[in-house]
Amino acid sequence: MAEAEQKSFDQGSNDLIEKAIKDEANTAFDRADTMKPCPIGSVGSCCKNCGMGPCRVPLPRGKEETPEEKLKRRGICGATAETIAARNFIRMIAGGASAHSDHGRGVAELFIAAAKGEAPGYEIRDEQKLLQLALDWGVEIGDRSNSEIAVEIGEKALEEFGRQEGEIITMRKAPLKRQEVWRTQGVAPRGIDREVVEIMHRTHIGVDQDYQNLLKQGVRTAIADGWGGSMIATELQDILFGTPAPILGKANLGVLKEDEVNIIIHGHEPLLSEMIVAVSREPEMVELAKSKGAKGINLAGMCCTANEILMRHGVGIAGNFLQQELAIVTGAVDAMVVDVQCIFQSIATVAECYHTKIITTSPKAKIPGAVHIEFDEHNALKSAREIVKAAVENFPNRKGNVEIPDNETDQIAGFSHETINYLLGGLFRSSYRPLNDNIINGRIRGVAGVVGCNNARYKHNEAHIAMVKELIKNDVLVITTGCNAIACAEAGLLLPEAAAEFAGEGLASVCEAVGIPPVLHMGSCVDNSRILIAATAMVKDGGLGDDISDLPVAGAAPEWMSEKAISIGQYFVASGVFTVFGVTWPTLGSKEVTDFLFKEMEDMYGGMWGFEEDPIKAAHMMIDHIDKKRKALGIDKARERVLYDMEMRRELT
Ligand code: BF8
């Protein structure tokens, strides 16, 4: 492949794209060449919410539109381009928020079953976090057992999803000033189920026709995701499976092993994958693998499930979103086990060219051509054993066309909010004080949350890596989740040594003193709630204003593609964070809607959206914003460090 034609930043992936062509396995990289995006739908100018359409209302090309022409540019029902773009945008939020929150609901259900002793194999692993959550949610501790407390917490969590009135209790985690902003703007959310249904109602034909009012409901729903459904998922997962702490792991397709049974766990919910990790280490399973001619069982993760099992068990990551088909193309994957979200339907057809078994496990997500072994939370170990056995028995069926790239990297992950707190402040005085101090003294310019997907419209991982390198070079500490975290791992940025090589002098000096990488892996996409909690902790520690919108921070998703990314971006913005997306922007068909999101939201929420395809320019938009916030805080000028002698001290008194 000539360099100009390379579809991935990663050479091993490019080699596999070529192998796929030779093996006649059709991948997303091929389909992105032949399937061009619709220029009308991609900018939000197509409405298909009723049977009279789809109605298309594209901006006229190459000429200024007259007011009369604009008046006529409407759908059959009279909906304007603004209404249509806003409707499409908030339906994306509804989709993304639902995905995160339904994940959270599944965790809550398992949490209750585990607390009642009805889900063998699961137990409360983080007692301290359980008790903390009990205090936060007003659940009595007294002399009750952990199980009793956990049942009440689980039931309270489930109630939150359907809360009909008032505000979700989890939003109380936000700084007080932020909560007041939401109340003043009328976006303090009720339960996610109610908010999502209201989006679907308002965007039905003939209901809400005011784009600002539509966008307001989008904001309210996104807050119910980030500060609600996603946050509940993260909190309960930590209690059940353990709060992540720094852990060494490997990344990229090179984690696959030619002489072992390779099982890839792909998707998002760690409920079953936790059990698969346990079962794959059972001596009987390892013996079974040996009896089939393999040296052992090698587990690897893909997408956000990868982040979950890496953070808690150090299981290697085979890749991110655009590498899922390529893993199969290695010819070495004996089973790919999937649950929900970000799973290509085409993995089943790519698998037909090799020997890989695709195993679906969720009743919510089946794929024709895949084997379905349903996850039963009351009998999870049985499901996990059946799955691992199926993979092991498939090992002898390999077709001999195995090619595993030599591109494995090391990484350190597991930077939960609790870990950062401890690493910076120590066990007895855990705090964000050293981070705030280093921001105030200018060694660290600010903090950026860089997250999100890969997008087949863009060279795989290139924007992620370019943006993150530019930020750390300019002394911005990066915190990351999702597929960005995996891209950073593959580029070697999640190692303490990366600070000396890629970070600016100030950031590097802090990373070296504390022993952390310049890019901190905080988990999967639902764990973006950890970023909200970290930002709140920075506010609470003092010296950087009294709301998240005062902090010198910014957010980005340079290769986004999913509706979840839009929901995440919207709750970052609603929390007061300037957030830049790359690749494409879904409301460009309406100048009014785009201006509202990019400019007017700042007056309302202190945060706003931005769009820039070039990752370096986007990084500088973030840096400029960080500098603007530093100036407003009065910390924009480096303060001279003066060593006082006795005489100067006497003068002071
Ligand atoms: O939830 S970053 S491609 S894997 S949507 Fe999907 Fe995007 Fe990856 Fe995780 Ni998040």
Residues of the chain with CATH 1.20.1270.30: 81-241
Instruction: With H, G, I as helix, E, B as strand and everything else as coil, classify residue 49.
Output: coil
525 lines ligand 1 (CB under 6 A): yes
Choosing from 265, 342, 458, 481 the residue with most ligand 1 atoms within 8 A of its CB, the one to mutate for a pocket test is: 342
**pLDDT bracket for residue 61 (50, 70, 90):** confident
307 CA: nearest ligand 1 atom: 9
Q: What is the dihedral of CA 509, 512, 514, 518, to 10 degrees?
A: 80
> In one letter, which amino acid is 185?
Q
CA 613 / ligand 1 centre spacing (Å): 19
How many C-beta neighbours within 10 Å does residue 486 have?
33
Q: How many CA atoms within 13 Å lie on the side-chain side of 226?
A: 28
Instruction: With H, G, I as helix, E, B as strand and everything else as coil, classify residue 222.
Output: helix
286 lines ligand 1 (CB under 6 A): no
482 lines ligand 1 (CB under 6 A): yes
d(CA 326, CA 25): 10
Task: Give the start-end residues of each E strand in 88-172.
Answer: none
The candidate with the shortest Cα–Cα distance to 18, out of 2, 4, 32, is: 2
Instruction: Output DSSP code: residue 140.
Output: -
d(CA 533, CA 49): 37
Encode pLDDT of 446-474 as tens digits: 999 999 999 999 999 999 999 999 999 99
> In one letter, which amino acid is 470?
E
Q: Whose CA is nearest to atom 1 of ligand 1?
A: 525
Q: Does domain 253-397 have CATH number 3.40.50.2030?
A: yes
562 lines ligand 1 (CB under 6 A): yes
Choosing from 92, 303, 309, 343 the residue with most ligand 1 atoms within 8 A of its CB, the one to mutate for a pocket test is: 303
Helix (H) or strand (E) holding 16: helix 11-22
Query: Does the pLDDT value for residue 645 go beyond 60?
Result: yes
583 lines ligand 1 (CB under 6 A): no
342 lines ligand 1 (CB under 6 A): yes
Choosing from 100, 101, 230, 304 the residue with most ligand 1 atoms within 8 A of its CB, the one to mutate for a pocket test is: 304
d(CA 40, CA 106): 36
Task: Give the start-end residues of each E strand in 323-404.
Answer: 335-338, 357-360, 371-372
Q: Whose CA is nearest to atom 10 of ligand 1?
A: 525
Query: Does the pLDDT value for residue 267 go beyond 80?
Result: yes
CA 221 / ligand 1 centre spacing (Å): 19
Q: Could you tell me which residues come within 8 angstroms of residue 558 by beta carbon, excluding any fewer than 6 positions away?
A: 450, 452, 463, 464, 466, 467, 484, 580, 581, 582, 583, 615, 618
Residues of the chain with CATH 3.40.50.2030: 253-397, 424-633
Q: Whose CA is nearest to atom 4 of ligand 1?
A: 303
> In one letter, which amino acid is 164?
Q
The owner of tokens 């389909």 is 31
CA 308 / ligand 1 centre spacing (Å): 12
For the chain, give the mean pLDDT.
Answer: 94
450 lines ligand 1 (CB under 6 A): no
pLDDT given for residue 428 in this prediction: 64
Q: Which CATH class is domain 424-633?
A: alpha beta
pLDDT given for residue 640 in this prediction: 54
CA 433 / ligand 1 centre spacing (Å): 32
Encode pLDDT of 546-557 as tens digits: 999 999 999 999
Q: Report cis status (omega within 30 of 0) of the bond before 363.
A: no
pTM beyond 0.75: yes
For residue 36, give Cα distances in angstroms to 32, 39, 92, 463.
7, 9, 20, 20
For residue 346, give Cα distances in angstroms to 27, 353, 367, 541, 565.
7, 11, 9, 48, 22
Q: How many residues in total does the chain contain?
A: 653
Encode pLDDT of 317-367 as tens digits: 999 999 999 999 999 999 999 999 999 999 999 999 999 999 999 999 999
Q: Whose CA is nearest to atom 9 of ligand 1?
A: 304
Q: What's the mean pLDDT in 128-144? A: 95
CA 344 / ligand 1 centre spacing (Å): 12
d(CA 146, CA 156): 15
321 lines ligand 1 (CB under 6 A): yes
564 CA: nearest ligand 1 atom: 5
CA 116 / ligand 1 centre spacing (Å): 32
Q: What's the mean pLDDT in 570-594? A: 97
Query: Does the pLDDT value for residue 427 go beyond 90?
Result: no
Choosing from 264, 340, 562, 581 the residue with most ligand 1 atoms within 8 A of its CB, the one to mutate for a pocket test is: 562
The answer to whether the beta carbons of residues 329 and 23 sit under 8 Å apart is yes
Query: Does the pLDDT value for residue 653 go beyond 60?
Result: no
CA 45 / ligand 1 centre spacing (Å): 25
Phi and psi at 45, nearest 5°, equal -105, 20
Phi and psi at 262, nearest 5°, equal -100, 120
Out of 1.20.950.20, 3.40.50.720, 2.40.30.10, 1.20.1270.30, select the CATH number for domain 81-241. Answer: 1.20.1270.30
453 lines ligand 1 (CB under 6 A): yes
486 CA: nearest ligand 1 atom: 8
CA 110 / ligand 1 centre spacing (Å): 23
Query: Does the pLDDT value for residue 579 go beyond 80?
Result: yes
Q: Could you tell me which residues come within 8 angstroms of residue 244 by beta carbon, excluding any fewer than 6 positions away?
A: 238, 311, 312, 413, 414, 415, 416, 419, 523
Q: What percent of the chain has pLDDT over 70?
A: 97
Using only C-alpha atoms, the chain has a radius of gyration, in whole angstroms, of: 25
Give the chain's count of helices (H) and strands (E): 28, 16
Query: Does the pLDDT value for residue 68 go beyond 80?
Result: yes
564 lines ligand 1 (CB under 6 A): yes
CA 172 / ligand 1 centre spacing (Å): 27
452 lines ligand 1 (CB under 6 A): yes
Encode pLDDT of 487-499 as tens digits: 999 999 999 999 9
